[in-house]
Amino acid sequence: MRRLLATLVILFVAVAAPLPASAAPDDDVDPAIRYALAQVEGGVVVADDRVVWPAIGMELRLASTGARAEALASVGRCPSGRVCAFESTAGAGTMLSWTGCSNYSTAALVSTGSIANARTSGTLHARNGATIVATAGPGALVNVYAASDNVRCVP
């Protein structure tokens, strides 16, 4: 009886736990998620449309047409209190978001088409190396028209 119980517990834990990037089957993973996981180590697939990097406080969420996501966000799809980078202009496409204010690589995106600052203060810069190519003030979404490989949040 104990052996059966132990086996059931192990099975439950294995099924209920989120898939780490290395365990996610390639056939079932969206190409944008597969790309992001290849570019940035430490990602954990937590849903079909979502990956998180707990160590760096980063989240990737695939584009959604749902009105609920729009209603809960303070700047387009960028959640309140976060800074975001989007793969397409106007806050469309795959989204990366961060809770903290620092320098962040956008390597998980194929390109950066827009950025959003859903904070009430400070600025968010899209940068190519150390060169600022776009700036979003508090509560703003701006398109990025030049190459960008990182964002910098300034308190």
**Which comes out higher in pLDDT, residue 142 or 23?**
142
- Between vectors from CA 102 to CA 110 and to CA 154, what angle results, nearest 5°? 110
Q: Where are the domains of the chain?
A: 18-154
Which residues neighbour 22 within 8 Å (Cβ) at sequence distance 6 or greater? Answer: none
Q: What is the pTM of this model?
A: 0.70
Whole-angstrom distance, CA of residue 94 vs CA of residue 111: 10
- 48: its two tokens: 């079909």
pLDDT above 50 for 7: no
Long-range Cβ pairs for the range 98-102 (8 Å, 24+): 98/56, 98/57, 98/58, 98/59, 98/153, 99/57, 100/57, 100/153, 101/153, 101/154, 101/155, 102/152, 102/153
Task: For residue range 55-110, list pLDDT tens digits in order.
Answer: 998 989 887 644 444 444 589 899 999 999 999 999 999 999 999 899 999 999 99
**Which comes out higher in pLDDT, residue 16 or 40?**
40
**Which comes out higher in pLDDT, residue 56 or 19?**
56
